[in-house]
Amino acid sequence: MKHNSSGFSALSFLGAVALLALFVLLCACNAQAQRLPATVVPTHYTLELAPDLKSATFSGVESIDVNLSRPTRSITLNAIEIAFQSVTIFPNAPQQTGTVSLDSAKQQATLTFPKTVPAGNATIKIRYTGILNNELRGFYLSKAEHRKYAVTQFEATDARRAFPCFDEPAFKAIFDISLVVDSGDTAISNTPIVADTSGPGAGKHTLEFETTPKMSTYLVAFLVGDFACTGGQQDGVDLRVCSTPDKVALTPYALSVAKYVLHYYDDYFGIHYPLKKLDLIAIPDFEAGAMENFGAITYRETDLLLDPATAPVDDKRNVALVVAHEMAHQWFGDLVTMKWWDNIWLNEGFATWMENKPVAAMHPEWNMQQVVAGDEQDTLDVDAQPTTRAIRARADTPAEIDQMFDGIAYGKASDVLLMVENYLGEETFR
């Protein structure tokens, strides 16, 4: 029999296409499998954390109030680098003790109980331990010249390194947080301190914070150390800029910017800043430029601290823009949050577009229109590359989500908003 080589090649090609399509489908299903089911929804977290900076570890006691839309024996949430000590569930049925199975690839933990948990409200209580890592994410050690600090960076998918949680932006809940820290240290979180009691144990005190508004897990923050702050008030909101004690003299400039920006945004949005306080904290070891944690914004030191008597205009403008950007997030991102990370441009594009407005009003001599035009040219250069993408793009896994934080989400989204604003007119767009 004569072999038909051309026919064999065609069939091989079709087979390869079919295999490729199957592979893509399987990959997509696997990526989607990293999303949590919507059948269990958290409403309230109570977190009690005790960090040990010397051993670079922490312990936690956590209660999560949840609503189950249907009966189940298992509940899946996010957790990584967490060692579970015990898990119980109550009270809509007799209390049950559960077992935990971990899937490190998906960064998930599945809690399984002996009997079916009825639909309705329930409370999950978890005792666990974790590590203060050196990865600049999750709950980690930040190292200054003379000491270490325990700080957090949760965006996009790293709250799960500090406490087991439903670590997706749509799963908003309220949080009650308390921290057990050394007597010589303080702690900062999203809301003001409401109680400070000695113990438990010698050389410790416990700080309890006011209940947060409803928010996503990635916006939770807690920082432990000997922070020093410069404080003020604007529009009834307590403002502070905090740093390590040796750099507190470099905090007043950012405080003056924050006062101006808060008043500007209160007026522009017609929605008053929703919390009682806002802290801006400079962290010695910090990967991101800044992070918009609700009520407790964290910054790289160079993006927050300076001496206005000696700093060049470029540095002053940079600090002002970063402060304005993160404060814009208190509305765009924190008060209102995208449902999933494929719409991160709704956070970053809006904040990038918005940051220029208060800075231009505060310093007309800086000619911010020219700065914006220069940034637009940089964005056009990025968008001209073969690796460009649509403003809104699919992202399912933590790695894919991290890739969304690029010049497209920030610069191109901002410039598209600016284009629409210029077409409609500023006041109409507002």
Q: What is the set of active-site residues?
A: 326
CA distance 109 to 330: 31
CA distance 47 to 27: 35
Q: What are phi and psi of 379, to 5 degrees?
A: -65, -40
Residue type, 317: R
Burial grade of 178 (CB within 10 A; 0-12, 13-18, 19 or more): buried
CA distance 309 to 305: 12
CA distance 96 to 119: 15
The tokens 């006062």 sit on which residue?
259
- Please state, in angstroms and as integers, the Cα–Cα distance from residue 380 to each residue in 204, 375, 383, 387, 413, following that order: 54, 9, 5, 13, 11
CA distance 25 to 205: 53
Distant-in-sequence, close-in-space partners of 311: CB < 8 Å, separation ≥ 6: 253
